[in-house]
Structure 1
Amino acid sequence: MSPLAELLLVLAVLGMAVKLLLLNVWRAVLFLAPGSVSVRPEAPAEGMQLPPELAPLAGQLQAQGFVPLGRHVEKPRFQKGSVSYDFAHPGAHTFATLHFSPQGEPRLYLLTPLAPEGFVLTADYQRPGFEVPGRYRSGGVPGASVERLFQAHRMRLQGFQPSEDFTWQERLRSGQAWYRGLGQREIRRQNVQGLLWTLVALAIVAGLFLGGGRPV
């Protein structure tokens, strides 16, 4: 192989490795440090400004007795962050959060903090079931209407002791606590592939340099 062809091959392989890193390094960080995600307030209820795509779900939530709380952002390291729109039904001990999937589809999940510690989480999209006896229960009911999801969530709350604080401040605190505690196993399960691709990319780069610039 000529020196020029070899150089072009090295640059192509290096470009592929860099692309893999850019796509996956933030997921690797999530796997290694789930608690690094920041949950910060962005606007109170009167400034939520719901996107039109979420308005139908918001209307159904309010018909079930939920009231708006505010808008917050969840930001992993090296990512722009995703916007969430929060509601609460204090009488039913439930928070509701609207957001968009990575593909831009409207999503909803219901969240109940438990006393003294723990969560019950029910989503309207595919979410593998996971449970820590007495402390945590999560899962999904894909395609469920707001009313059906609310009913399912209340049924899944049976046997647990909900918290009594359903202010927006508690919603933000609960979100951060989920990332730093009981949600970490789910986050790692969701991002293990990102960690593996990051390691592959780093191995390629190391091979190029340690191998004298030749692709491994």
Structure 2
Amino acid sequence: MSPLAELLLVLVVLGMAVKLLLLNFWRAVLFVSPGSVRLLPVVPAEGMQVPPGLAPLASELQALGFVPLGSHVEKPRFQKGTPSYDFAHAGEHTFATLHFSPRGEPRVYLLTPLAPEGFVLTAGHPRPGFEVPGRYRSGGFLESSPERLLQFHRVRLLGLQPSEDFTWEERLRLGQAWYRGLGQREIRRQNLQGLLWTVVALAIVAGLFLGGGRPV
């Protein structure tokens, strides 16, 4: 192989490795340190403006008796963060949060804190089920309306004791606690692939430089 062709091959491989790193490094960081995600308040209820793509879900929630609390951003390291719009229904002992998926799909999930500690999380989209008996239940139901989702959520709360604080401040505190505690196993499961691709990309870069510029 000519030196020019070899150089071009090295640059192509290096470019692929850099692209892998850009796509996956933040997921690797999230796998290693789930608690590094920050929940940042944006505006309280009176200033919250739900995007048009989430407005139908917001209307359905309010028809069920949920009231707006405010909006926040969930920000992993090296990412802009996901805007989220929070509601609460104290009578149902449930928070509701709206957001867009990475593909731009509108999503809703319900969250109930348990006393003295724990969560029940029910999502309106596919989500692998996970349970810690008496402390944590999570799962998802495909394309469920907020009304149907609330019905599922009530059933999943049976036998558990919800807490009583459904303020926006408590919603933000609970979200941070989820990332630092019971949610970590799920986060690591969701981001394992990102960690593996990051390791592959770093191995390629190391091989290029340690191997004298020859692709491994």
Which residue of structure 1 lines up, in the alignment, with residue 14 of structure 2? Answer: 14
Which residue of structure 2 lines up, in the alignment, with residue 154 of structure 1? Answer: 154
The residue type equivalent to 1:149 in the other structure is: L
The residue type equivalent to 2:57 in the other structure is: L
| Whole-angstrom distance in 2 between the partners of 1:186 and 1:148 | 24
| Whole-angstrom distance in 2 between the partners of 1:145 and 1:16 | 41
Stretches (4+) displaced over 2 A? none
The gaps in structure 2 that reach 5 residues or longer are none
| Whole-angstrom distance in 1 between the partners of 2:12 and 2:105 | 35
C-alpha displacement at 1:159, in angstroms?
Answer: 1.0
Does 1:190 pair with 2:190?
A: yes
Report the aligned-residue RMSD. 0.6
TM score, norm. by length of structure 1: 0.99
The residue correspondences of 1:171-210 to structure 2 (distance < 5 A) are 171-210=171-210
Which residue of structure 2 lines up, in the alignment, with residue 127 of structure 1? Answer: 127
Please give the secondary structure, in 1, of the residue aligned with 2:88: strand
Which residue of structure 1 lines up, in the alignment, with residue 33 of structure 2? Answer: 33
The residue type equivalent to 2:26 in the other structure is: W
Which residue of structure 1 lines up, in the alignment, with residue 114 of structure 2? Answer: 114
The gaps in structure 1 that reach 5 residues or longer are none
C-alpha displacement at 1:143, in angstroms?
Answer: 1.1
C-alpha displacement at 1:77, in angstroms?
Answer: 0.4
C-alpha displacement at 1:44, in angstroms?
Answer: 0.4
Identical counterparts, % of pairs? 82
Please give the secondary structure, in 2, of the residue aligned with 1:143: coil
| Whole-angstrom distance in 1 between the partners of 2:53 and 2:18 | 35
Please give the secondary structure, in 1, of the residue aligned with 2:41: strand
| Whole-angstrom distance in 2 between the partners of 1:151 and 1:12 | 53
Please give the secondary structure, in 1, of the residue aligned with 2:19: helix
Paired residues in the alignment total 216
